[in-house]
Amino acid sequence: MTVPDRGDSRSVAVVTGGNRGIGAEVARQLAEHGYTVVLGSRDLAQGEQAAARLDASRQQVLACQLDVDDPASVTAMASWIGRNLGRADALVNNAAIDYDTDAYAVSADLGRVQRALDTNLLGAWRTVQALLPLLRRSPHPRIVNVSSGGGSIARMTGGTPGYSVSKAALNALTRLLAGELRGDRVLVNAVCPGWTDTDMGQGGRPVAAGAASVTWAVLLGDDGPTGGFFRDGKPVPW
């Protein structure tokens, strides 16, 4: 990846799983708001294609290989950003797998549950840890964990066990990080995009609307909330 020499100091946002779905649209919206966006993609070629589609100038959306399950890939991404951009101001933990509508907690394949936890919880956690040194140096740092109403313990009634438990755990991580990073001025929130028409959420609302729910939490002012769970800018029950 060639980094454009713009000689400016735009804020940098990292979006995991940015090659398609909500992540790609969040990348587009953040670029529109003036961010330099690092578009993380497991498959670099797909990431490059998405970046070209979102930003024909190739100045503002930069693809980076990123598999959040792979510690070496996450470390390499953080080093690459440190070396080439020198800053990270926002992290959107968007990458996730396996909306397991065919499964139930009473009979779930625990290997499958473990894979969901690996990506949806530990992948996000690992990416936060890798980028924290840069985020802590940002004047307006933001972490957005893309969660789901499926992770709301208050609303669980059974079904989608791996996905729901992984998102509930991501919500718990959001609370812990928000508390621990308050002193560093990092606003950390969980956001549900709502049922959105992607490969994962076929038939839902337009991708732009789901993504806007997420982008909102990146664009918060310094007096914005931290440690909350939101959809479309409004609180969702934990």
Q: How many CB atoms lie within 10 A of CB 61?
A: 27
Question: Is residue 38 a contact partner of residue 3, using CB atoms and an 8 Å limit?
Answer: no
Max Cα separation, the chain? 57
The residue type found at 86 is G
Dihedral-angle region of residue 27 (phi above 0 means left; psi in -120 to 50 means alpha; beta otherwise): alpha
CB of 7 to ligand NAP, least distance (A): 31
Look up residue 98 and give its two tokens. 């396996």
Name the token pair of 188. 């950390």
Strand partners, 40: 64
Set 148, 164, 166, 213: catalytic member: 148
Smallest distance, Å, CB 140 to ligand NAP? Answer: 23
Q: What are phi and psi of 92, to 5 degrees?
A: -110, 105
Strands 90-93 and 12-15: parallel
CB of 128 to ligand NAP, least distance (A): 14
Please report, as ranges, the residues that interact with ligand NAP according to CB under 6 A. 16-17, 19-23, 42-43, 66-69, 94-97, 119, 123, 146, 148, 192-193, 195-196, 198-201, 204
Q: Is 107 a catalytic residue?
A: no
Nearer to ligand NAP, 20 or 185 (CB): 20
Among 147, 152, 167, 213, the one annotated catalytic: 167
Measured from the CB atom, is 173 or 192 closer to ligand NAP? 192
Nearer to ligand NAP, 221 or 237 (CB): 237
- Name the residue nearer to ligand NAP (CB basis): 123 or 141: 123
We find the least distance from the C-beta atom of residue 12 to ligand NAP, in angstroms, to be: 18
Task: Give me the least distance between CB of 199 and ligand NAP, in Å please.
Answer: 4
Q: Which is nearer to ligand NAP, 2 or 202 (CB)?
A: 202
Cβ count near 4 (within 10 Å):
13
Dihedrals φ, ψ of 144, to 5°?
-120, 115
Answer yes or no: 234 catalytic.
no
The catalytic residues are 148, 167
